[in-house]
């Protein structure tokens, strides 16, 4: 339960803060949330990873659907993956997820866990 809660908090909080702050605020949020809601390393990593991964996945998917993949296709060409919006969304979310995951993991080690 706590695990799902921290995923949700990380996702929602980093979305709100991300409206004003630079992209790396996702790391700060994941870090702080795990300091406040302690978790074992694996759980912490997964909350950070999934919190950001899912948030970016949802936001990018919404944008992409509304955009009919117009830009995702062009950017896919620029990044060398071709016209593949699904892969581009996955790569996007994976990058965010990794940053969130490692930030949360760091917090878990710093804060300690039972």
Q: Is 87 in the site for another protein (CB under 8 A)?
A: no
- In the bound complex, what is the minimum distance in angstroms from residue 110's beta carbon to another protein? 5
From residue 73, alpha-carbon distances to 47, 57, 65, 83 in Å are 30, 17, 12, 4
Q: Which residues in the 40-69 window bind another protein by CB under 8 A?
A: 41, 56, 59-60, 63-64, 66-68
Tokens matching residue 89? 């969304």
- In the bound complex, what is the minimum distance in angstroms from residue 24's beta carbon to another protein? 5
Closest to 53 (Cα-Cα) out of 23, 92, 1: 92
- In the bound complex, what is the minimum distance in angstroms from residue 26's beta carbon to another protein? 8
- In the bound complex, what is the minimum distance in angstroms from residue 2's beta carbon to another protein? 20
Residues found near another protein in the complex (CB under 8 A):
15, 18-19, 22-24, 26-27, 31, 41, 56, 59-60, 63-64, 66-68, 70-79, 91-92, 95-96, 98-99, 102-103, 105-106, 109-110, 112
């Amino acid at each position: 339960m706590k695990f799902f809660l921290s995923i949700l908090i990380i996702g929602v909080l980093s979305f709100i803060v991300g409206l004003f702050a630079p992209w790396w605020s996702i790391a700060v949020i994941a870090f702080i949330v795990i300091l406040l809601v302690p978790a074992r390393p694996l759980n912490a990593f997964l909350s950070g990873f999934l919190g950001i991964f899912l948030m970016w996945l949802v936001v990018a998917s919404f944008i992409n659907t509304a955009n009919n993949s117009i830009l995702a296709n062009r950017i896919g060409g620029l990044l060398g993956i071709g016209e593949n919006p699904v892969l581009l969304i996955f790569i996007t979310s994976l990058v965010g997820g990794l940053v969130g995951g490692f930030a949360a993991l760091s917090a878990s080690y710093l804060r300690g866990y039972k």
